[in-house]
Amino acid sequence: DAKTTQPPSMDCAEGRAANLPCNHSTISGNEYVYWYRQIHSQGPQYIIHGLKNNETNEMASLIITEDRKSSTLILPHATLRDTAVYYCIVRAPFGNEKLTFGTGTRLTIIP
Amino acid sequence: GAVVSQHPSRVICKSGTSVKIECRSLDFQATTMFWYRQFPKQSLMLMATSNEGSKATYEQGVEKDKFLINHASLTLSTLTVTSAHPEDSSFYICSARDGAGGSQRTQYFGPGTRLLVL
């Protein structure tokens, strides 16, 4: 799987949009970008995933650059409950479907 | 989204005993389940991949005789930590992959089991 690079930590004011970047410059053409988050002492929670096009769901939006070498997860109106470690993971569609977790970004929402 | 449960949520045991952790997919069938381990202040590390009806595939460095995995049905996988020792104390998390969805099959994670070996 392609390696991803994320900033170790970020702060965001409550109610503002949180924009979490991820670099995946070695991504292959058929690999998906997945985002998970882990709130303290819980299992990771699936957020969103995409291949080429931007995606949006009830939790977040995913913006993938045209060259697919980076992406941004957007939490439109951050709340205190969004404080967590956010992981950006690149995964092949078939065969080896293991998820390799990096160190992620620790997002802290400030009241 | 899909729901994955784990039982127990936490367990304390004496050194040398065996501990079984269950992972269930509640509203979907999971042909593949994964077991992870997470030590304090570290990221998740994959231990093994469990396929229904076949032997699990273990990651390098994970002892298959110590961490027994059984995936007897499409909704249940178990991890047994045999002869547990204090260094096995960790947060064990399973995930289940939805069999539907083609190339976009997503893994959903359980809430985790915290094991403390005294």
Spatial distance between the Cα atoms of A100 and A34, rounded to a whole number of angstroms: 11
Cβ pairs A/B, distance under 8 A: 55
Q: How many helices (H) and strands (E) does chain B have?
A: 0, 11
| Range from A33-37, A87-91, B72-76 carrying the lowest mean pLDDT | B72-76
Do B105 and B116 touch, CB atoms closer than 8 A?
no
What confidence score (pLDDT) does residue B106 get? 86
Give A15's pLDDT tier (boundaries 50, 70, 90): very high
Chain B CB within 8 Å of residue A34 CB:
yes
Count the Cβ atoms, other than its own, within 10 Å of residue A9.
Answer: 11
Residue B109 to residue A49, Cβ atoms within 8 A = no
Give B97's pLDDT tier (boundaries 50, 70, 90): confident
Spatial distance between the Cα atoms of A36 and B40, rounded to a whole number of angstroms: 19
Facing residue for A99 by CB, picked from B1, B104, B107: B107
| Chain B residues within 8 A of A87 when measuring between CB atoms | 43
What confidence score (pLDDT) does residue A97 get? 75
**Residues sharing a CB contact under 8 Å with residue B94, sequence separation 6 or more, in sequence order:** B4, B6, B21, B23, B33, B34, B35, B36, B77, B79, B109, B110
Do A78 and A18 touch, CB atoms closer than 8 A?
yes
Bridge partner residues of B21 (DSSP): B79
Q: Closest-CA residue in chain A for B50?
A: A98
Q: Report which secondary-structure segment, H or E, holds A61.
A: strand A61-64
| Chain A residues within 8 A of B105 when measuring between CB atoms | 97
What confidence score (pLDDT) does residue A42 get? 95
Residue B104 to residue A41, Cβ atoms within 8 A = no
For the cut 80, the answer to whether the pLDDT of residue B102 exceeds it is no
Shortest distance, CA B103 to any CA of chain A (angstroms): 5
What confidence score (pLDDT) does residue A30 get? 86
Instruction: Please state whether the peptide bond connecting residue B8 to the residue before it is cis, i.e. omega within 30 degrees of 0.
Output: yes
Interface test with B, best of A98, A103, A105, A106 (most B CBs within 10 A): A98
Facing residue for A43 by CB, picked from B1, B97, B109: B109
What confidence score (pLDDT) does residue B52 get? 83
What tens digit of pLDDT does each residue of A22-55 get? 999 999 888 999 999 999 989 999 999 999 989 9
What confidence score (pLDDT) does residue B31 get? 84
